[in-house]
A and B are shown apart, each in its own frame.
Chain A
C-alpha cells in the first residue's frame, strides 16, 4: 500500500472498516489489498484487467487526469455478498487508485449522515491533498528554476502563459504586470520581444505535439535581447539594461514550458568577445582605407612633382651646352625658375595638407572679440600676391564688405585658404582679365568669400570631385590638394566650400564661413 500517503491511511483506519483498495495501471491491477472478500472482489487479481461491465468500471475509465476523483455510493458489487460498497477512485500520473468502503457494516456504528460526512471528508481531503500536492510541486519547480536565475512560464489550455510560482521582480517588470493584475502573458504580439517569441513557442509546441514522437524534450531558443527596466530592479543606475534569453521546451507529455534566463553575466562575456572583433574590424577598415588613399596620393604627388622637374632638367641641359644666345638663355632661366616655383608651391600644399591632418580637430577661434577678420585677411593676402598678378598681366580686385567680419577659424590657416583660391584663379586667368576677391555677409550667421576668374572654368565632369583629395579614376595629387585643403580646413570650422560656373564665363569658388558672433 505504498502509494497511498500515510495520512490518508490513518484516516481510513479510523473511518469505515472493511476497506479494500486496488491500484491500476492501464486498467490492469498492479496491487490489491484489504478486505477483498467483504466486497466480493476475490476475482480481482494482480495482473488481471478490470472488465468494462462491472458497475464501478467508470471509475477506472473516466479520464480524470489531474482532477478526476469519482465517487459511487452504496453499490452491490457481488450479489452473493451482503455488503454495500462505496467506491472512490482517482487518478494520479498514470495510475488509478480505487478504494472500496463497506458502508453496510458501518451503518450500525455510525449514523447515516455521519457516515456520509466521513466519506465526503475523505473525498474532499483526498482531492484537496492532490491539488495541494500539485501546487506544491509546481511551485517547487518554479522556485527551483528561480534559484538558478531562470523564470518559468507555462502554456495554459487557454493559450496564455503563466508563471507557476511567484515570479521574480524582473519578470513582473518585463511582462509589465501591475500590482494585483493577473500574471498572464498573451503570446504573439511582435511589438514586444517576449510576447513575439511566445507566439513562436505556441507554434513550436503545436508542431511538437502533432509531429512524430521525437527526442524527449525539444527546444526553441529566442536569441538574446536587452530591455531597459526600472532602476529599482538593478544595483546601480548604470545597470538598467537587462539581457534575457528564452527557451521554449516541448515536454514529452505534450506540455509547453518557456524558461527565461536573465543573462547579464554571459551576455557581458559574449559582448566582450564580439566587441574585440568589431574594434579590430573597425581599425582594420580604417587603416586599410587610409593606406589605400595614401598610396594613391603618393603616386599622384610624385607624378605631379616630376612635371616641373622635367622642365627644369631641360632648361639646365640647354644652359650647360652653352649654345644659347643671351635672349634664349634668359628664357631658359625664366622657364626653369617658373617651374621651380611651381614645384615649391606644390610641396607647400603637400605639407599643408599633412600638417592640417595632424592638427587637432578643433583648433580655431570663435570668440567674437578675437576671431579672424575675413575682410582684413582677404585684403592682406591679395596684397601679398599682387606681384605675381602683375607678372602675368592679370588684375586683382578686392570688393564687397569694408567693415570687420569676424569668422570662426584661425588667421594663418584662413590666409592659406584664400591664397590657395587666389593662386588657383591666377593659374587659369587669361592675361588681360581680372580676378575678383569678394567678401560679403550672407546672413546673420554666415559670411561668403568668393574668388572669381574669367578662365575656362571647371569641366562639368570633375566639378563634383573638385574638393576631394582622392578621386578614383581621376587625377588628384599635388595640384588637386590645394582645393582639398580649402575644404578640409573650412569644414573643420563648420563652414563649406563650393564651386559654380561664373555668370558670363569663368569659375566662381566660394567659401562660406560661420560668423564668430553667432557661433559663440
Chain B
C-alpha cells in the first residue's frame, strides 16, 4: 500500500483544517477552531495516473498549525513530505505572501523539489476579495499551479487534492 505524506501550510485561519475536513469527511463548519501543533488525518484515494492505471494511495494529511509572527513551524514537520499544499485566504491578500514564504522555507528544509500546489481559498466570498482572483493567481505564478477553492462549497477541493496526488504518484508509477 502506498502511503504519502502531504503537509498543509499557510497562515492561520486561511482554511487548512476546513479543506481537510471537506476533502476527508465532506463537512464544513463556519466556526473557527484554531489548530494546535499538527492534526493528522488520512484518506484513501484512488487516482488514475498518466498511463491510465487506477492507483490507490493513502494520503496522510498533516494539517499544520498556522504560522504567525509569534510561532514558526518546526522544520521537522516537513520531513518525509511527498507534497505540499499551500493555502492562502483570498479575502486576506497578505496570506498569499506568507504562503509563498512558507513554501520557500519548506522546500529548503525538505531539500528536494516536491510537488506543490497553492490554493486560494474562500472562493465563495469572492465579492469580498480586495484583489481579484486572476490578479492573485498571476502573482503566484504557474510553478504552484494555483487554484481557487472553497472549503465551504467544496469548489475545487477534491480536484486540488487529486491533482496533487497524481503529481506525487507520477514519480512512483512506471
Q: Verify A491–B127 contact, CB threshold 8 A.
A: yes
**What residue in chain B is nearest A293 (Cβ atoms)?**
B130
Query: In terms of DSSP, what is the predominant structure of the interface of chain B?
Result: loop
Given contacts A190-B5, A191-B60, A467-B132, whether A196 and B36 have CB atoms under 8 Å apart is no
A86 to B40, CA, bound (A): 61
**Chain B proximity of A29: nearest CB distance (Å):** 52
Chain A residues 224-246 with CB under 8 Å of chain B are 224-228, 241, 243
Q: Verify A243–B37 contact, CB threshold 8 A.
A: yes
Chain A residues 43-64 with CB under 8 Å of chain B are none
**What residue in chain A is nearest B94 (Cβ atoms)?**
A285
**What residue in chain A is nearest B125 (Cβ atoms)?**
A361
Task: Give 1 or 0 for each of A456-494: 1 = CB within 8 Å of chain B CB.
Answer: 000000001001101000000000000000001001100
**What residue in chain A is nearest B127 (Cβ atoms)?**
A491
**Chain A proximity of B72: nearest CB distance (Å):** 12
A223 to B37, CA, bound (A): 7
Give the residues in chain A near B66, CB-CB below 8 Å: 278
Say whether A279 faces chain B, with CB atoms less than 8 Å apart: yes
Give the residues in chain A near B4, CB-CB below 8 Å: 191
A513 to B74, CA, bound (A): 47
Give the residues in chain B near A223, CB-CB below 8 Å: 37-38, 74
A349 to B167, CA, bound (A): 49
Q: Verify B34–A274 contact, CB threshold 8 A.
A: yes
Chain B residues 25-41 with CB under 8 Å of chain A are 32-41
Say whether B147 faces chain A, with CB atoms less than 8 Å apart: no
Say whether B135 faces chain A, with CB atoms less than 8 Å apart: yes
Q: Verify B68–A271 contact, CB threshold 8 A.
A: no
Given contacts A191-B60, A468-B132, whether A226 and B39 have CB atoms under 8 Å apart is yes
A225 to B38, CA, bound (A): 5
Say whether B13 faces chain A, with CB atoms less than 8 Å apart: yes
Q: Verify A267–B36 contact, CB threshold 8 A.
A: yes
- Which of A191, A196, A279, A464 makes the CB contact (< 8 A) with B32? A279
Q: Verify B32–A274 contact, CB threshold 8 A.
A: no
Q: Verify A193–B3 contact, CB threshold 8 A.
A: no
Chain B residues touching A, range: 20 to 34
- Which of B34, B40, B62, B81 makes the CB contact (< 8 A) with A228? B40
Say whether B126 faces chain A, with CB atoms less than 8 Å apart: yes
Q: Verify A226–B34 contact, CB threshold 8 A.
A: no
**Chain B proximity of A51: nearest CB distance (Å):** 54
Give the residues in chain B near A109, CB-CB below 8 Å: none
**What residue in chain A is nearest B3 (Cβ atoms)?**
A191
Give the residues in chain A near B127, CB-CB below 8 Å: 361, 488, 491-492
Interface size for A (C-beta < 8 A) is 35
Q: Verify A225–B37 contact, CB threshold 8 A.
A: yes
A191 to B5, CA, bound (A): 6
Q: Verify B32–A226 contact, CB threshold 8 A.
A: no
Say whether A192 faces chain B, with CB atoms less than 8 Å apart: yes
Say whether A281 faces chain B, with CB atoms less than 8 Å apart: yes
Given contacts A193-B40, A285-B92, A470-B130, whether A278 and B5 have CB atoms under 8 Å apart is no
Say whether B48 faces chain A, with CB atoms less than 8 Å apart: no
Given contacts A225-B38, A225-B39, whether A196 and B130 have CB atoms under 8 Å apart is no
A64 to B127, CA, bound (A): 76
Give the residues in chain A near B35, CB-CB below 8 Å: 226
A241 to B36, CA, bound (A): 12
Say whether A383 faces chain B, with CB atoms less than 8 Å apart: no
Say whether A282 faces chain B, with CB atoms less than 8 Å apart: yes
A267 to B37, CA, bound (A): 10
Q: Verify B33–A271 contact, CB threshold 8 A.
A: yes
Say whether A200 faces chain B, with CB atoms less than 8 Å apart: yes
Give the residues in chain A near B39, CB-CB below 8 Å: 225-228, 241
Give the residues in chain A near B62, CB-CB below 8 Å: 193
Say whether A270 faces chain B, with CB atoms less than 8 Å apart: yes
Say whether A275 faces chain B, with CB atoms less than 8 Å apart: yes
Most buried by A among B32, B40, B62, B81: B40
Most buried by A among B34, B35, B68: B34
A224 to B65, CA, bound (A): 10
**Chain A proximity of B34: nearest CB distance (Å):** 5
Q: Verify A275–B34 contact, CB threshold 8 A.
A: yes
Given contacts A226-B39, A271-B36, whether A282 and B13 have CB atoms under 8 Å apart is yes
Q: Verify A193–B132 contact, CB threshold 8 A.
A: no
Task: Give 1 or 0 for each of B1-43: 1 = CB within 8 Å of chain A CB.
Answer: 0011100000011000000000000000000111111111110
Task: Give 1 or 0 for each of B68-86: 1 = CB within 8 Å of chain A CB.
Answer: 1000001010011100000
A225 to B74, CA, bound (A): 12
Say whether A189 faces chain B, with CB atoms less than 8 Å apart: yes
Q: Verify B60–A278 contact, CB threshold 8 A.
A: no
Give the residues in chain B near A488, CB-CB below 8 Å: 127
Task: Give 1 or 0 for each of B128-164: 1 = CB within 8 Å of chain A CB.
Answer: 0010100100000000000000000000000000000
Task: Give 1 or 0 for each of B52-66: 1 = CB within 8 Å of chain A CB.
Answer: 000000001010001
Q: Verify B36–A274 contact, CB threshold 8 A.
A: yes
**Chain B proximity of A82: nearest CB distance (Å):** 70
Chain A residues 6-48 with CB under 8 Å of chain B are none
Chain A residues 247-267 with CB under 8 Å of chain B are 267
Give the residues in chain B near A241, CB-CB below 8 Å: 39
A323 to B147, CA, bound (A): 67
Give the residues in chain B near A189, CB-CB below 8 Å: 80
Q: Verify B32–A278 contact, CB threshold 8 A.
A: yes
Q: Verify B41–A228 contact, CB threshold 8 A.
A: yes
**What residue in chain A is nearest B20 (Cβ atoms)?**
A228
A407 to B34, CA, bound (A): 39
A275 to B62, CA, bound (A): 20
- Which of B33, B40, B130 makes the CB contact (< 8 A) with A225? B40
Give the residues in chain A near B37, CB-CB below 8 Å: 223-226, 243
- Which of A243, A271, A293, A468 makes the CB contact (< 8 A) with B34? A271
A binding-site residues for B, Cβ under 8 Å: 189-193, 196, 200, 223-228, 241, 243, 267, 270-271, 274-275, 278-279, 281-282, 285, 289, 293, 361, 464, 467-468, 470, 488, 491-492
Listed by A's residue number, 11 A-B pairs whose Cβ atoms lie within 8 Å are: A193-B40, A193-B62, A225-B39, A226-B40, A243-B36, A271-B36, A274-B34, A279-B32, A285-B92, A468-B132, A470-B130
Knowing that A228-B42, A278-B66, A361-B127 are A-B contacts, what are 7 other residue pairs whose CB atoms are under 8 Å apart, sorted by A's residue number?
A191-B60, A191-B80, A200-B76, A223-B37, A243-B37, A274-B36, A464-B135
The 4 A-B pairs at the shortest CB distance, nearest first, are namely A190-B80, A224-B37, A190-B79, A491-B127
